[in-house]
Amino acid sequence: MQTEQIKDLVIDALDDMKAKDITVLDVRGRTSVTDWMIIATGTSNRHVNAVAGNVEEKAKQAGMRPNGTEGRAAADWVLVDLVDVVVHVMTDQARQFYDLERLWGEPGQAAASSKSE
């Protein structure tokens, strides 16, 4: 599966579960870990877990095997590693605290939202 298709699959999976504030960050050339980070907010720990679970399920249905998932126990920040795309589903509080957009976004530029992708 091509990276663009993976991004679209993730965004659809997040939209299906009503995740909020979906942001897509291009981190190519900034890290060797992944090419894209997709960040979304869940309304509660249970919602974060359900959203991340839907991303995993949709990836598996598409024939992909997630490289790993972290954070399920606490569920304030669940990371789903799809190799070229890493998905972060966070509570609003965790998202504000860790501020991944500022950390990984391009200096002086706003991150691209899913609507412009």
**CA dist., res. 32 & res. 7, Å (int):** 18
* CATH number of the domain bearing residue 39: 3.30.460.10
Whether 69 maps to a domain, the answer reads yes
Number of Cβ within a 10 Å radius of residue 19: 28
The predicted-structure confidence for 7-54, as pLDDT tens digits, reads as follows 999 999 999 999 999 999 999 989 999 999 999 999 999 999 999 999
| CA pseudo-torsion sign 90, 92, 94, 99 | positive
- CA dihedral sign, ordered 80, 89, 70, 24: positive
Question: Any idea of the CA torsion for 30, 54, 51, 117, to the nearest 10 degrees?
Answer: 50
Domain that holds residue 69: 3-101
For residue 110, being part of any structural domain is answered with no
> Is 112's pLDDT higher than 70?
no
